[in-house]
Amino acid sequence: MAYELCDKLKKLTPYDPAEGTYRIRLDANESFLPLPDEVIEKLPKVIERVRFNRYPDPLASELCFDFAQYYRVDPQSVTAGNGSDELLNIIANSFLQRGETVLTLAPDFSMYGFYAELAECRCVRMEKGEGFRIDPDAVIERANQEHAAMVIFSNPCNPTSVLLDRDSVRKIIRGVNGLVVLDEAYMDFADASLIREADRYDNLILLRTCSKVFGLAAIRLGFAVANPTITRALRAAKSPYNVNSITQAIGSAVLSEPEAAHRALEQILISRRSLYGMVRELAEKYPGKINVIEPQTNFVFARYEDAGELFEFLKKNAMIVRRMGDYLRITAGRNHENVEVTQKIDEFYAGRC
Ligand SMILES: *Cc1c(COP(=O)(O)O)cnc(C)c1O
């Protein structure tokens, strides 16, 4: 029998992070820091204690407790995921039913639309306003007009790095007649989190990740924070052993060293400030060619004249950043990386003056 893939699968292509080898990788918003010394020292003991022959704790109780301690929330409101990516997948496939509508904002994280479509939902993309600002009233109106079962957005936003203030986010949650998924993947770098109040809403799932400030992208670890009813549903809908024992153990070790995490955060913020300063200087040196947005994350988003050619020029010089149309998103890296990439951008525009 000739087996044929269904239409929704035929359309898909495997996720393809920038292929090839680059000397400088500032394309994925990872942390440039190794694990802190305190954690490295504990690591052999942590791994030794893992019971490799046993299935992991399905609820990752100790890990969720450590996460809850770190952010000072109730552990009962926390669900761990194999990266927040897995949580997005679970949410789309269990909180939505086929044919329902999901409202996404544009530009925003591309995985939202991907999982919504995989769950056979209708995805409505609403363009953001001037300066990529989100207008809460417009979002509420559109969501309810489209009968959206779910509204999802990142705050601060990947890729724009723009932050929406707390009151505006609260307004959206209260105004939307559906589930709101608030992706705070970058909120460690900004100050408008709703994590401490997330379990007080009846229609909110708040997502966090350990892939950015904690430098744990490799072990895949993310969290959802929500009220007890939603949390129970999330735990019921996930696969039982979604977070492996090694991830649980290392995640716990990292989250129990808050001072080390704060140190890492400081270093990343220093890098961001410095990269932002360098890009701003270029914008002044080449008027009208670069338009940079003040960053609230661990990357710098800017519009570049001839962004496509610039992107290829950087690649030719073994440097990879993320391109979105006329915009480049550059992850804050080590100082020499920030210096080298901005020097290359300088060279690119100097060569055309
Ligand atoms: C990086 C990122 C995540 C984190 O994904 P993980 O699966 O936890 O690594 C989630 N949302 C956004 C917008 C991101 O940029």
Q: What is the pLDDT of residues 162-190, one digit of tens each?
A: 999 999 999 999 999 999 999 999 999 99
- Spacing, Cα 153 to ligand 1 middle (Å): 12
pTM reported for the whole predicted model:
0.97
Residue 124, pLDDT score: 98
Specify burial of residue 52 (Cβ count, 10 A radius: 0-12, 13-18, 19+): exposed
- Spacing, Cα 56 to ligand 1 middle (Å): 23
Q: Where are the alpha helices (DSSP H) in the chain?
A: 7-10, 37-49, 61-71, 83-94, 111-118, 136-145, 166-175, 228-237, 245-255, 258-285, 307-316, 335-350
Residue 347, pLDDT score: 98
pLDDT < 50 regions, the chain: none
Residue 1, pLDDT score: 78
Helix pair angle (228-237, 83-94), 10° resolution: 100
Q: How far apart (Å, rounded) are the C-alpha atoms in residues 63 and 107?
A: 33
Ligand 1, atom nearest to 183 Cα: 11
- Spacing, Cα 284 to ligand 1 middle (Å): 32
Span 196-210, pLDDT tens digits: 999 999 999 999 999
Question: Are 329 and 160 spatial neighbours (Cβ–Cβ below 8 Å)?
Answer: no
Q: Whose CA is nearest to atom 12 of ligand 1?
A: 185
Residue 17, pLDDT score: 74
For residue 222, what are the CA distances in angstroms to 5, 10, 213?
Answer: 31, 29, 12
Name which of 351, 350, 353, 348 is nearest 310 in CA terms: 348
Q: How far apart (Å, rounded) are the C-alpha atoms in residues 80 and 61?
A: 9
Q: Whose CA is nearest to atom 3 of ligand 1?
A: 185
Question: Are 150 and 97 spatial neighbours (Cβ–Cβ below 8 Å)?
Answer: no
Question: Are 143 and 174 spatial neighbours (Cβ–Cβ below 8 Å)?
Answer: no
Q: Whose CA is nearest to atom 2 of ligand 1?
A: 185
- Spacing, Cα 347 to ligand 1 middle (Å): 32
Question: Are 330 and 321 spatial neighbours (Cβ–Cβ below 8 Å)?
Answer: yes
Q: Whose CA is nearest to atom 11 of ligand 1?
A: 185
Q: Which two tokens stand for residue 265?
A: 């955060």
- Spacing, Cα 85 to ligand 1 middle (Å): 6
Q: Which two tokens stand for residue 263?
A: 């140190």
- Spacing, Cα 223 to ligand 1 middle (Å): 11
Residue 13, pLDDT score: 87
Ligand 1, atom nearest to 211 Cα: 9
- Spacing, Cα 277 to ligand 1 middle (Å): 25
Ligand 1, atom nearest to 84 Cα: 8
Q: How far apart (Å, rounded) are the C-alpha atoms in residues 88 and 104?
A: 13
Output the CA torsion sign for 324, 300, 335, 67: negative
Laid out side by side, the sheet with 101-106 consists of 78-81, 222-226, 204-209, 179-183, 148-154, 101-106, 122-127
Q: How far apart (Å, rounded) are the C-alpha atoms in residues 249 and 316?
A: 40
Ligand 1 surroundings by CB, under 6 angstroms: 29, 83-85, 109, 154, 158, 183, 185, 209, 211-212, 217, 222
- Spacing, Cα 299 to ligand 1 middle (Å): 13
Q: 183, 188, 220, 324: which to mutate for ligand 1, most atoms within 8 A of CB? A: 183
C-alpha dihedral over 243, 246, 252, 253, to 10 degrees?
-160
Ligand 1, atom nearest to 157 Cα: 13
- Spacing, Cα 159 to ligand 1 middle (Å): 11
- Quickly tell me which residue has 């080590």 as its tokens: 334
